[in-house]
Amino acid sequence: MNMALWIIQGLTALGFIYSGWLKAFQYEKAKASWGWVKDLPKGLVAFIGLAELLGAIGVILPEALGIAPILTPSAAAALAAVVLLGAALHLARKEYRELGVNLVFFLLAALVAIGRF
């Protein structure tokens, strides 16, 4: 089970590093990739990206280093909340096609949170 959780943690971190990096540091590319980005303030998009990057770090490092490992499931739960908020935005904008990605990353983050708590 531990190995499966590490694989899930790695996939979760990689997904959030990718999307967080685009939102935080490559705004124009994010705007071209995701229609919702152009409708939100740039600062909010960057904040979401930084939160995702910090969450991705939190999903891996505390458990890997054995330093405050409770932060790993806490970070995963926070990422799951970010994904739920993103899904709510997509629902409000009638972007139903985007919900599949939200579901996958919600499940990944929730599995890490439940498995590590």
Number of domains in the chain: 1
What would the pLDDT profile of 95-106 be if each residue is shown by its tens digit? 999 899 999 999
Q: What is the mean pLDDT of residues 47-68?
A: 97
Q: Band of the pLDDT at 1, cuts 50, 70, 90? A: confident
Quote the domain boundaries for residue 98: 2-116
**Dihedral through CA 19, CA 23, CA 28, CA 33, nearest 10?**
40
Apex 29 CA angle, 26 and 31, nearest 5: 105
pLDDT the model gives residue 30: 94
Beta strand extents in the chain (DSSP E only) = none
